[in-house]
Structure 1
């Protein structure tokens, strides 16, 4: 089996596009290049004591976990970094058996989407604290249990600049705005922080390039060249595909196949026996999606709609079974319950026949 590529970020990174266009590389050659980068990154991490395969929960969306944005007012009159004390506290609130991707940055609503207004309505705030300016500092954390989320919120309550957190597990205008404005800070993996360093630095060095005091917080620091980090260790906040960024899915498919075709032209193949199995053995998932007692065509349409609006992850080229596959996360809010629900869908990528075959639904 080839290496599993948990995530590939060509959405916020033009490296692969430049590589392809400058050298006029065919999809087959790009496939070999991406696989080579993935293998070399995995090997480098292994030399530094980190198992790339074990980073899955930090790098890919998890069906049963929360994501959240922790929001802070900015003291514009204070000297020094306002991010440093926030991350020092956050790092001490993480459990040493957990793993998370952390993104951060200053956010505003210059695009006038109403994103901050939505956040102000949905925020779990501390007391009566309010946003003090149209610019906030946000820290985004994925792979959280409900208890982890509550513990981090409680751990910041006595920090005067902390306003509260917004659960960003499901799609929203606010979540989409964060995906555009935030940058990647680091991956926390148990007692290790994985970050990036300059591409021209010795790859075996380990540095805290962002200067957030990982050593002071008691973590082991491991860093890899920035190009590799941004491509393969950067968690992508889910959002609708923005025009001009369609290449992200193309390169993700190219990671597991020498043929990368637009998925909008593919048919969704669901074996009736598979749907019958789901109706009995995975009834809770179908019920959550509002499809229990429905027809497989409804599930097909839901998958098709989601693929056209989001990204794919957990890409695998299984040489032993001659199968290329990936996962997506679908969301629903059935009208009879109004409860939002997410399900993980595994699909086989069959470019020769332009089919996506349903493998699993959880």
Structure 2
């Protein structure tokens, strides 16, 4: 079973489908074939795809999604992402499984006044910050967080002046939608292993830490997967207030090969005498 399929920004599927003029059924078979290959790549590194479900599907009972926000202008390093990760890595346990996304808040098409409002509207603030532009804020986004793991992270960050605060992303919001299209999937923390991406032309037997963050120094081993497969099947999709038509098309096609568009499905009003 495919837990998620992320076609946002994916160039492989459209090229294959358009070049060979594939039908929906043929497209579904291509996706399934690539998925089988992904599972083989994971198994070769001692990882079962089924064990990654919690990192790839929306928030579960008693768990939460959280965006931890850092002011890069208060970090005395051009590599501010590394500083942020050095601050958070000691707090990550070796038992849980979740996806980790990161990046600057990109809201270039939104007026500054509105973007400032969006950044701060649900922020639980720990330290002061002077807003100049949304891109000054670096985000580490983690899903499937237990309360204990969340509290451990907050304890590690709370005294750092560049840690602005956090936003609970368990439910939909304007900021969550912006982050859905701003952040990149860094990897999956699977217990004491960080599953990262490597270049498509690299030998699959290799395990490389291309992002350069100090995972090994904090007791994590690194396994890396071809980025073409990682991007499609191992990228957690932050829920947005609006759907990407191409992404929705391929995601639905992977399940229902006879659907041409999710936006053209017939809707039937089924009346009931009572509702549960």
Q: Is the contact between residue 109 and residue 116 of structure 1 (CA under 8 Å) also seen in structure 2?
A: no
Q: What is residue 161 of structure 1 aligned with on the other side?
A: 162
User: Which whole-Å CA distance do the structure 1 matches of 2:75 and 2:35 have between them?
Assistant: 44
In the TM superposition, residue 295 of structure 1 has moved relative to its aligned partner by 3.0
In structure 1, what is the equivalent of residue 44 of structure 2? 47
Matches within 5 A, 1:239-318: 239-242=240-243, 245-264=244-263, 265-267=265-267, 294-295=274-275
Q: How many angstroms does 1:112 deviate by?
A: 2.1
Are the structure 2 counterparts of residues 131 and 27 from structure 1 closer, same or farther at C-alpha, using a change threshold of 3 Å?
A: same
Q: Structure 2: which 5+ residue stretches go unaligned?
A: none
CA offset at residue 79 of structure 1? 3.7
Give the structure with higher Rg (CA).
1
| Ranges in structure 1 where 5+ consecutive residues have no aligned partner | 273-292, 297-362
Structure 1's 77 and 256: CA in aligned 2 closer, same or farther, altered over 3 A? closer
C-alpha spacing 1:263/1:108, structure 2 compared with 1 (3 Å) = closer
Distance 1:231 1:91 in 2: 26
Task: Please tell me whether the aligned partners of residues 115 and 177 of structure 1 are also in contact (alpha carbons under 8 angstroms).
Answer: no
Is the partner of 2:216 in helix, strand or coil? coil
1:267-315 alpha-carbon deviations (Å, 9 max, x no partner): 469897xxxxxxxxxxxxxxxxxxxx9537xxxxxxxxxxxxxxxxxxx
* TM value normalised by structure 1: 0.69
Q: TM-score, normalised by structure 2?
A: 0.90
Could you tell me how far 1:100 is from its partner in structure 2? 1.1
The counterpart of 1:11, out of the listed 5, 8, 21, is: 8
Greater strand content: 1
1:118 alignment counterpart: 118
Summarize deviations over 1:232-267 as a string: whole Å, max 9, x none. Answer: 01011101335xx31212211222343233334244
Residue pair 2:4, 2:57 contacting (<8 A) in 1 also: yes
Counterpart-to-counterpart distance in 2, 1:57 and 1:269: 34
Question: What is the RMSD computed on CA atoms of the aligned residues?
Answer: 2.3
Task: Answer 1 or 2: higher relative contact order, Cα 8 Å, separation at least 6.
Answer: 2
Equivalent residues of 1:11, 1:247 under 8 A apart? yes
Report the secondary structure of 2:99's partner residue.
strand
Match of 1:102 in 2: 100
- What is the DSSP-based 3-state SS (H/G/I as helix, E as strand, rest coil) of the residue aligned with 2:52? helix
Q: Which moved more, 1:257-266 or 1:172-181?
A: 257-266
> Partner residue of 1:171?
172
* Counterpart for residue 211 of structure 1: 212
Q: Which residue in 2 is equivalent to 1:74? A: 72
**Aligned residue number for residue 190 of structure 1:** 191
CA distance in 1, matches of 2:176, 2:75: 29
Name the CA distance, whole Å, in 1 between partners of 2:270 and 2:38. Answer: 35
User: Kindly tell me: are residues 111 and 147 of structure 1, through their superposed partners in 2, closer, same or farther at Cα, counting changes over 3 Å?
Assistant: farther
Count, aligned residues: 270
